[in-house]
Structure 1
């Protein structure tokens, strides 16, 4: 049995049996674009729908059904034991059996088939609608209504929808990548957002997450990828986006915040500016992802300021590169996804990172020392293409906003115990943690940190005093 979608001025959806039975669903005046528009919203789960459809057809016909590689085009079924005579015995018995099987398989009393025996069918030969209607046998035995020529097309779409009544309706799937591991804070954010959004939208909106830059997108390229439509949403480390707008570097300014409470207060002050910067890129801010405090992972213990000058260190943005270069280290801005190969080939011997979650599990394979200098408590930024968001109805937009708000609340709650959890795993894996580095180590960064903050203020213009003055005024 072959299943085909044929396009044209008079589109047809046709089921063809190898035993020379054809099921015709004739839909006059439908163009290819009309049918594809009706099915486009189900594209992401059509493959699963076809597989289920195939399974039920195979059960009814005692046949083998092969789902298509392109689910919109063709489904093939092999039914060598069937014959037209076996299928079309007497109308009464055939209809009664068909009613039971159709209703059992598709769980709806209105779903039906129309069976049409064809003698010597030739290639590209389709019987006219008026001729076909007189010989059709429906599952429920009632006649075909001549005044409703679109009924057959609607019944076919009903089959697709009824196979997945809870999830198929208007289901949309968004790709949402991050360059960090699933167990790091950005990965936790995406998985939490996916869960909350599916719940709040009753399954109509689904997130397809990807981690460890599996989608080939690093933080620095995330906004461009979202704007270009490569993905619908994503999570990026804010500091890596400074080239897009200076505001993104604010959360990772060195030694600006000293606690989770201060980091959260700074994030609230920065939120409208971050949202405005994203809006200029055609995107909408979903939520902010907080990180634990940043420290230095190294191959050797850092005991004196002179030890810092021997570092070839991976930094996460231009400001941190400038700060470490100022103390004599060899610094390079490298995305986290590209850091492991650099450690493996020996081109770097230190990493500026919190080592959160799965990130730490990778770092301690090469770097057995961690110096907790509390360089910053940075943020990542999760955003969505504004046009994608605007294309949703009001209820789904509210679901997105609520899911994003809940996600950020849960992330800040998780951060309160995250540092202790990370440290426990690190120590259990043999990492030596210096929680109270020598004052000389900390003081070595102060001049560079002050210079970096001044340079950022010069680049950001009036935004700098608007945010930092309010932030400093809130300090005890």
Structure 2
């Protein structure tokens, strides 16, 4: 090869290299829910926004439905750097620290306005706990309010006595116990099979999960308790995040803020459309009876006090800030 040709090839390679991002990162992102779930759709848009804002400098590949890591493994995989970014249901971490379970206390915050106020009151405490494990919070988005799915009408907690009740975190386990039901841990993707095989008889979950699992195939009654709005949170490995150039960090944070705003709006819209879809598919939609409302309010107060005993002064500060916010 002549020296002239070598110089031409070298110049072409150099030119191509200069056209690439100065810093390219390819991030795998495990998430626990399927592609039809609005949380996943929001995260996919977040990934697109990050790619666009960084000119391809950070490419996030979303691995949905637990396909890369199962839900219980996602947080630890991000902490250990096996995946730089991931999504988890915040209250799944309540066994690590009670602050992660504050949004799953029944009837503490049972509307979107109350849910926003509770998040404002608790976010800094959540961020501190994640920071201790080398994790940085990007954003959090709530599920629609949690409501009862059963085969028969539920007029009081007595109607659930002895029933096998689907649980997905410590709060739902405790709620089942206080209602006299038997908690059984079931992941979202296993709900239809669990009902079909008789492992569970009832559950409390969002309209979104009811629709995505086609709850009308195995339950017939939806009691609109709107008990709480549990959040999914997206976190990043702090070392991986801080290893990015500053402009890319800024772009990710801006995309995260947009994803938070968009996600809350999607969640509210999902509440209305989800309940409508359940009804269209033959489920009976009803408001809780006065007896059931009173019983669940009492359970909520019991669980708030139990949470405060575990959370101590830090938990009391969160509750005080929330209640002083006027919500």
TM-score, normalised to structure 2, is: 0.91
Secondary structure in 2 matching 1:462: helix
Q: RMSD of aligned C-alpha atoms?
A: 2.3
Gaps of 5+ in 1: 1-135, 146-150
CA contact (8 A) 2:75 2:87 kept: no
Task: Give the equivalent residue in structure 2 for 1:333.
Answer: 185
Secondary structure in 2 matching 1:275: helix
Task: Give the equivalent residue in structure 2 for 1:375.
Answer: 227
TM-score, normalised to structure 1, is: 0.64
Q: 1:155 to 1:349 in 2, by over 3 A?
A: farther
- 2:109, 2:264 → 1: CA distance? 15
Greater fraction helix: 2
Secondary structure in 2 matching 1:460: helix
Task: Give the equivalent residue in structure 2 for 1:324.
Answer: 176
Task: Give the equivalent residue in structure 1 for 2:301.
Answer: 450
Displacement, 1:188? 2.8
Moved more, 354-363 or 192-201: 354-363
Q: 1:155 to 1:359 in 2, by over 3 A?
A: farther
Q: 1:392 aligns with which of 240, 244, 248?
A: 244
Q: 1:248 aligns with which of 92, 100, 113?
A: 100
- 1:260, 1:334 → 2: CA distance? 26
Secondary structure in 1 matching 2:277: helix
Task: Give the equivalent residue in structure 1 for 2:324.
Answer: 473
Q: 1:455 to 1:160 in 2, by over 3 A?
A: same
Task: Give the equivalent residue in structure 2 for 1:196.
Answer: 49
| Deviation sequence 1:163-216 (CA, Å, 0-9, x none) | xx4x66643221112212223242133112112211211121111112221223
| Deviation sequence 1:414-444 (CA, Å, 0-9, x none) | 233221111122222222221x111112222
| Deviation sequence 1:252-295 (CA, Å, 0-9, x none) | 11110131111011111111111111111111001011111001
The answer as to 2:273 corresponding to 1:421 is yes
Task: Give the equivalent residue in structure 1 for 2:65.
Answer: 212
| Deviation sequence 1:36-84 (CA, Å, 0-9, x none) | xxxxxxxxxxxxxxxxxxxxxxxxxxxxxxxxxxxxxxxxxxxxxxxxx
Q: 1:403 aligns with which of 255, 258, 268?
A: 255
CA contact (8 A) 2:168 2:187 kept: yes
Aligned residue-pair number: 327
- 1:240, 1:215 → 2: CA distance? 18
Displacement, 1:373? 1.0
Displacement, 1:157? 4.8
- 1:408, 1:144 → 2: CA distance? 51
Secondary structure in 1 matching 2:65: coil
Displacement, 1:472? 1.1
| Deviation sequence 1:95-146 (CA, Å, 0-9, x none) | xxxxxxxxxxxxxxxxxxxxxxxxxxxxxxxxxxxxxxxxx247xxx2657x
Secondary structure in 2 matching 1:230: coil
Task: Give the equivalent residue in structure 1 for 2:27.
Answer: 174
Task: Give the equivalent residue in structure 2 for 1:352.
Answer: 204
